[in-house]
Amino acid sequence: MKNYVKIVLCTIAAFVGIFATPGHAKPSTIETQNYILSQVNKGEKVNLLDRFEKEEDRVVKAEFLYRLIAGEIESVMITKYGVQIIGAIIINPLDLELIEIPFILYFKNCTFQDRLSFSHSGFTDHCLFSNVTFLGDVAFVNTTFSKRLILESSTFHENADFSAAKFKTLTRFTYTKFLGGSPHKSSDFSLAHFSKLVHFQSVVFNQMAIFDGVNFDGNAIYQSAEFRGGADFSDADFNGRATFHLTKFFQLAYFYKAAFKENLDFQSSEFFKVANFNEIVFSSKSIWDNAQFHDSSSFSGSSFQEFADFSVVKFLAYPDFSNSTFQNSVSFKKAYLEGADFRNSNLANSDFSGAFLSEADFQESNLDGCQFWDVKSFPNKYEPRSGGSPYIPSVADLQNLSKMTFLKSPHGLVDLRLGFKNLSYREQERKVTYAIKRTQRLKLWNSNFTHESEDKRVSIFDKIESVFHLVLFELPCAYGMQPGRPLMILAGFILLFTIPYTEFISRKNEDGIWKIWINDRVRKDLGHEEPERIYLIGFQAMKTGFYLSLLSAFSIGWKDLNVGNWIARIQKREYVLKATGWARVVSGIQSLISVYLLALWALSYFGRPFETI
């Protein structure tokens, strides 16, 4: 009973104090203030929407609100329920800096028409803003929230400054809009400290959102948030889980040197402009699957210490993973990685199955144990770090093994060839050998073939050597990749040389093609002791010319291996065909070419003559 009497007396005294205050307050404003004081003294919510139908009756002056919150109205005794105001329209700037607020402060469906500042103040109890509209600048610089800050479904039309603020318990900004009326406006959380869970779910940042140097000790949830004016998370420390699932970054996303110590989720997020994740430490698992990067993205110098999942991610503008380290494998399954830069990166045991890798650069990267099953458009330039090869069965079906090149050293291709050799992938081994030798030949002709920065002039002798390799090795057998090609060329030459032999047989000259009967023949009744000049025309001349071409092609043997003698034994008659004059010259040329092609076929088919670099 005594407490009730005390509250009533304090309320009456407050009314008297307000009426006695000099000024020009309108009656409706006085009535509103009296109602607020009455409700606060009773520990009840101040619901101006239910109390006053007219909007002008819900106007509250900032000066009055300051005196109420700062405790300067002696007749008001604020209970444990604090100050809870619904539907107020606060006019004039409200400056509540450098004060301690030991009670609940709650605003719902309110509008602050001018600047609001709680900078360097402290909230020892809950602070709640629900569906509040801030039309002026808002400042919570270096403010301490000892208990919950709930600021949800609200709208900031100008700057919102939370820099260096300390949030010691749960913080919630869900469904809030930071509009920042002009391009130079921003929402600033730089150097803030979130000790517990913080929610930015479905928040809209219309202008620049600044979170550089922020410390997140608890989980940080940005799921479905929209950063329309850029986001700066540089040097931020995420000590709890960070969730950016379905988040959209319409402008620059800057995470330079941030640290993620727990699981990170960027699943299905979308980056429309530059995304910078350079020199970041990802201490735990990071999930990026189904994310999209429409502009350039960079992870250069970053360290992924646990599993990283980039499955089905679309990098549409040449991503940069140079100098990055993936210590516990990474999945790029079905990722779109055209032009990706993986130079000097540690990609051991990574999975690129089904990825699109056209023009990707793996120079000096560690590909030991990497899997490339069903890869689309594997890059032609191949010079990874020596000493390790991808999982060999996964690269056996690559379509461009023979088209690969290297920049400076073929060690990566040599390791790849050795892997194929050890697992008896003979065809793939030959293709890689061709790739090595072809690149070496082209570099003899033009030193800048694969390395634009190399300025080395090629001598005429280098060009001659390049032509030598082209004519004698590359065209005839592709450095062993086409071991059957020399036989096909040989067959072609047999048909080709049939033409001049037919011409020699069809002419009556002193020189030409001669039939010489063997002296120790069995049938002495056949043939003549003297050589017979062969003269034929038409089909008979052509048939004999083909036979002579066949004999000339295999006339030179090796030890007991002489195919020409074997063919001669098929004849019904015991004679040999010999040429004189120009016919003999042609026959000799054909014999030399043929024996070279036969040797090239035998060595390529049964050996590895081009394996030495």
Consecutive H or E run containing 108: strand 105-108
Query: Distance between CA 403 and CA 435 in Å, rounded?
Result: 6
Distance of CA 103 to the CA centre of its chain: 51
Which candidate, 389, 388, 380, 348, places its Cα nearest to that of 361?
380
pLDDT at position 126, please? Answer: 97
Comparing 550 with 247, the larger pLDDT belongs to 247
Query: Distance between CA 471 and CA 456 in Å, rounded?
Result: 24
pLDDT at position 612, please? Answer: 76
Which pLDDT band holds residue 61 (cuts at 50, 70, 90)? very high
pLDDT at position 581, please? Answer: 86
pLDDT for 243-302, tens place per residue?
999 999 999 999 999 999 999 999 999 999 999 999 999 999 999 999 999 999 999 999
pLDDT at position 23, please? Answer: 39
Query: Distance between CA 34 and CA 12 in Å, rounded?
Result: 10
State percent of the chain over pLDDT 90: 71
Scan for tokens 């047999």, then name that residue.
494
Query: Distance between CA 421 and CA 398 in Å, rounded?
Result: 16
Q: Please state which of the ranges 258-267, 392-401, 513-522, 563-572 shows the lowest mean pLDDT.
A: 563-572
Query: Distance between CA 48 and CA 85 in Å, rounded?
Result: 7
Sign of CA dihedral 459, 461, 462, 468: positive
Consecutive H or E run containing 100: strand 100-101
Which pLDDT band holds residue 1 (cuts at 50, 70, 90)? very low
Scan for tokens 């997020």, then name that residue.
269
Q: C-alpha dihedral over 44, 50, 51, 57, to 10 degrees?
A: 120
pLDDT at position 65, please? Answer: 95
Extract the tokens encoding 427: 């065809």
pLDDT at position 449, please? Answer: 61
pLDDT at position 558, please? Answer: 60
pLDDT at position 28, please? Answer: 53
Cα-only R_g, the chain: 44
pLDDT for 418-440, tens place per residue?
999 999 999 999 999 999 999 99
Which pLDDT band holds residue 510 (cuts at 50, 70, 90)? confident
In the 8-state DSSP scheme, what is residue 478?
G
Question: What is the SS3 assignment for 46-85?
Answer: EEHHHHCCCHHHHEEEHHHHHHHHCCCCCCCCCCCCCEEE
Read off the amino acid at residue 421.
K
Q: Please state which of the ranges 167-176, 456-465, 471-480 shows the lowest mean pLDDT.
A: 456-465
Q: Are 534 and 515 in contact (CB under 8 A)?
A: yes
Comparing 260 with 14, the larger pLDDT belongs to 260
pLDDT at position 456, please? Answer: 63
Q: Are 288 and 314 in contact (CB under 8 A)?
A: no
Query: Distance between CA 205 and CA 212 in Å, rounded?
Result: 15
513-517 vs 532-533, strand pairing mode:
antiparallel
Query: Distance between CA 238 and CA 244 in Å, rounded?
Result: 12
Which candidate, 378, 304, 290, places its Cα nearest to that of 348?
304
Which candidate, 358, 354, 367, 326, places its Cα nearest to that of 340?
358
Residue 330 has pLDDT above 90, yes or no: yes
Which residues, at least 6 apart from 20, have a Cβ–Cβ distance to it below 8 Å? none
Residue 15 has pLDDT above 80, yes or no: no
DSSP-assigned states of every residue in 415-453: HHHHHHHHTT-HHHHHHHHHHHHHHHHHHHH-TTSS-TT
Residue 535 has pLDDT above 90, yes or no: no
Which candidate, 595, 577, 594, places its Cα nearest to that of 504?
577
Exposed/middle/buried for residue 609 (C-beta within 10 Å: 0-12, 13-18, 19+): middle
pLDDT at position 29, please? Answer: 80
Q: Which of 208-217, 453-462, 493-502 has the highest mean pLDDT?
A: 208-217
Q: Which of 78-82, 172-176, 457-461, 545-549 has the highest mean pLDDT?
A: 172-176
| Distance set, CA 93 to CA 37, 136, 159, 213, 333 (Å) | 21, 8, 14, 30, 56
pLDDT at position 564, please? Answer: 65
* Alpha helix positions (H), 284-425: 392-395, 411-422
Average pLDDT score over residue span 555-561: 65
Query: Distance between CA 604 and CA 126 in Å, rounded?
Result: 83
Comparing 593 with 183, the larger pLDDT belongs to 593
Q: Are 497 and 594 in contact (CB under 8 A)?
A: no
- Phi, psi (5° rounding) for residue 482? -120, 75
Residue 550 has pLDDT above 90, yes or no: no
Which candidate, 403, 340, 335, 395, places its Cα nearest to that of 368?
395
575-579 vs 513-517, strand pairing mode:
antiparallel
Residue 7 has pLDDT above 90, yes or no: no
Sign of CA dihedral 590, 591, 597, 601: positive
Average pLDDT score over residue span 461-475: 92
Query: Distance between CA 291 and CA 245 in Å, rounded?
Result: 9
pLDDT for 581-611, tens place per residue?
888 899 899 989 998 998 999 899 998 999 8
Which pLDDT band holds residue 76 (cuts at 50, 70, 90)? confident
Overall size of the chain counted in residues: 613
pLDDT at position 3, please? Answer: 44
Extract the tokens encoding 474: 């590359």
| Distance set, CA 219 to CA 137, 253, 262, 336 (Å) | 28, 20, 9, 30
pLDDT for 103-142, tens place per residue?
999 999 999 999 999 999 999 999 999 999 999 999 999 9
* Alpha helix positions (H), 446-527: 460-469, 475-477, 485-505
Comparing 331 with 18, the larger pLDDT belongs to 331
pLDDT at position 446, please? Answer: 82
| Distance set, CA 568 to CA 123, 251, 487, 575 (Å) | 110, 83, 20, 9
Comparing 461 with 354, the larger pLDDT belongs to 354
Averaged pLDDT score across all residues of the chain: 89
Largest Cα span, the chain:
157
Query: Distance between CA 51 and CA 233 in Å, rounded?
Result: 45
Distance separating the N- and C-terminal Cα atoms of the chain: 104
Extract the tokens encoding 156: 């900031």
Q: Are 590 and 493 in contact (CB under 8 A)?
A: yes
Extract the tokens encoding 471: 């004519």
Query: Distance between CA 255 and CA 40 in Å, rounded?
Result: 45
Which pLDDT band holds residue 454 (cuts at 50, 70, 90)? low
pLDDT at position 455, please? Answer: 53
pLDDT at position 11, please? Answer: 44
Residue 13 has pLDDT above 60, yes or no: no
